[in-house]
Amino acid sequence: DVVLTQSPLSLPVTLGQPASISCRSSQSLVDSDGNTYLNWFQQRPGQSPRRLIYKVSNRDSGVPDRFSGSGSGTDFTLKISRVEAEDVGVYYCMQSTHLGTFGQGTKVEIK
Amino acid sequence: QVQLVESGGGVVQPGRSLRLSCAASGFTFSRYAIHWVRQAPGKGLEWVTLISYDGNNKYYADSVKGRFIISRDNSKNTLYLQMNSLRAEDTAVYYCANLATNPDYWGQGTLVTVSS
């Protein structure tokens, strides 16, 4: 089974400053079709999750451009260029190359 | 607008069964694979199962394989999750989600509590 390991698990950030979350997979997420199905989700307090990034680096419709995704193979990163108050919540990476697996989640809070 | 509305949650004793439903509207349900994802109280997200657009292919997490059955009725725009032999560790909010579109769509979730 694929295991996704996120770090850090808690991320206190100052408003306006950048933030970065790492997601490492126990095996390559490159599919036989050549795509890498690594997604990033945001879950704000009391809300259902929503996807921010699909296939490593593609932003979903309506997602602010301060969110970006990068990486390849087994190592992936979500970056927020300038954190805003509405970005508070838990962020999850999720792979769908090998069925489905979520990372443990990273809680982003304002310092 | 697009809606996914889960129902069927509640309190159930260990070993018993429960069936969840997810009613879809606002998009062509029969075109998309749909997931069930769950979240235990205060915990992270766990992928549970996926069904293809036509219902012919189904995939399960090891934690529910052999106990849960996913199905869909495209004529009713409804997804189901039959949960058998329930355990305390199945206690969670269960979400249905369409991750095949941009943006994705999630329901509000339905709470299942397995307790004697």
Enter the tokens of residue A62: 């309506």
DSSP secondary structure letters along chain B: --EEEEE--EEE-TT--EEEEEEEESS-GGGS-EEEEEE-TTS-EEEEEEE-TTSS-EEE-TTTTTTEEEEEETTTTEEEEEE-S--GGG-EEEEEEE-SSSS-EE---EEEEE--
C-beta atoms of A48 and B109 within 8 A: yes
C-beta atoms of B47 and A101 within 8 A: yes
* Residue B8 CB-density burial (10 A; 0-12 exposed, 13-18 middle, 19+ buried): middle
pLDDT at residue A40, rounded to an integer: 98
* Residue A9 CB-density burial (10 A; 0-12 exposed, 13-18 middle, 19+ buried): middle
Residues in chain A: 111
Give the tens place of pLDDT for each residue, A25-66. Answer: 999 999 999 999 999 999 999 999 999 999 999 999 999 999
What DSSP state is assigned to residue A92? E
A105 contacts in chain B (CB < 8 Å): 44-45
At residue A60, the 3 state secondary structure works out as coil
pLDDT at residue A21, rounded to an integer: 98
Enter the tokens of residue A69: 């995704």
Interface size between A and B, measured as CB pairs under 8 A: 56
Give the tens place of pLDDT for each residue, B43-94. Answer: 999 999 999 999 999 999 999 999 999 999 999 999 999 999 999 999 999 9
B95 contacts in chain A (CB < 8 Å): 48-49
pLDDT at residue B96, rounded to an integer: 98
CB neighbourhood size of A11 (10 A): 17
